[in-house]
Amino acid sequence: MSELFDIKGSVALVTGASRGIGRACVRLLAEAGAIVYACARSEEALHELAAETEGVRVCVLDLRDEVMVEELASEIMEAHGRLDLLVNNAGVLGPRASLDQTSAEALREVLEVNVVGAFNVLSASYPALRAASSPRVINLSSSVGRKGRAQWGAYSISKFGVEGLSEIAADELGEDAVVVTLNPGGTATDMRAEAYPDEDPETLPSATDVAQTIVLLTRQLRAEHSGGRFSSRALFELAKTSPRGAVELP
Ligand code: NDP
């Protein structure tokens, strides 16, 4: 196995950091010693997170605003000269509806955040990622981004876009970079509650459980994984059957 990625001292950017999976991910990465740029629109939630966790830098922005995203990428480049890890996690659900019940406007709104927003961050980060010695990019996808399913219209289409974005970046960023998608699976967050209002969140993995799989991926990804698709459920199983710290990705 090649050397593990060292989270301590790394520079990370996590989008969708104000709640859910992104917030948990910021916490775990910062606790492991990374400098973490935590992005979202909700200023108060981000300042609360930064006050609780050392090493967190707040960036209040809407990912749809490409100028602000460019400014953030330049700020990271100026401060650190590189970006080691991008967790492209922000997303919206949009309407749970069949295609004939989805308006073009609703589709556009979801694509604007989930695809254009993810594109804005990833493309603006290219110079800083290229300046890192072994950059990692983890793009949050979904099972419906890999196989279409009825009633998941706009969201499903957007996650197919994320899968494509990820494969293109894996091909473009060169052999030192590792770019993958992660399907977190059903996770107890606001988005899941919006999609399944009658479900008991206690029956689901927590955002922290999923953030642990993001940390695991960050550490263990190797060059040959680039362009690959991972799922948190499979990683939970792998972690259960492997002795502590010795997980080897398939
Ligand atoms: P949440 O709804 O809990 O959090 C979404 C995050 O995205 C928030 O921090 C929100 O911050 C941010 N966000 C939304 N729109 C924008 C915007 N325009 N600009 C900047 N930030 C934005 O979602 P989850 O934690 O559940 O989901 C995280 C990722 O995992 C998503 O990509 C989702 O599609 C994926 N996923 C989740 C599953 C689940 O069961 N939870 C299952 C499969 C995939 P703010 O509102 O402050 O801007």
Q: Could you report the per-residue pLDDT of 51-94, keeping only the tens digit for each? A: 999 999 999 999 999 999 999 999 999 999 999 999 999 999 99
Predicted ipTM?
0.99
pLDDT for residue 249: 82
pLDDT for residue 239: 81
Contact 136, 178 (CB under 8 A): yes
- Return left, alpha or beta for 198; rule: phi > 0 is left, psi -120 to 50 is alpha, else beta: alpha
Average pLDDT over residues 215-239: 93
Pocket mutation for ligand 1, best pick of 13, 15, 19 (most atoms within 8 Å of C-beta): 19
Please state, in angstroms and rounded to a whole number, the distance separating the CA atoms of residues 237 and 216. Answer: 13
pLDDT at 2 exceeding the cut of 80: no
Residues carrying an active site annotation: 155
Residues with CB under 6 A from ligand 1: 15-22, 40-42, 62-64, 89-92, 113, 117, 140, 142, 184, 186-187, 189-192
Atom of ligand 1 nearest to the CA of 162: 32
pLDDT for residue 1: 40
Q: Which amino acid is at 85?
A: L
Expressed in angstroms and rounded, the spacing between residue 21 Cα and the centre of ligand 1 is 7
CATH class of the region 11-241:
alpha beta
Residues 6 or more apart whose Cβ sits within 8 Å of residue 86: 12, 13, 121, 122, 125, 129, 135, 136, 137, 138
Atom of ligand 1 nearest to the CA of 114: 32
pLDDT tens sequence across 157-199: 999 999 999 999 999 998 999 999 999 999 999 999 999 999 9
Atom of ligand 1 nearest to the CA of 195: 40
Pocket mutation for ligand 1, best pick of 64, 112, 189 (most atoms within 8 Å of C-beta): 189
Average pLDDT over residues 129-133: 97
> Between 248 and 9, where is the model more confident?
9
Expressed in angstroms and rounded, the spacing between residue 40 Cα and the centre of ligand 1 is 9
Pocket mutation for ligand 1, best pick of 41, 163, 200 (most atoms within 8 Å of C-beta): 41
Expressed in angstroms and rounded, the spacing between residue 172 Cα and the centre of ligand 1 is 26
CA-nearest residue for atom 12, ligand 1, is 16
Residues 6 or more apart whose Cβ sits within 8 Å of residue 36: 12, 13, 14, 26, 29, 30, 55, 56, 57
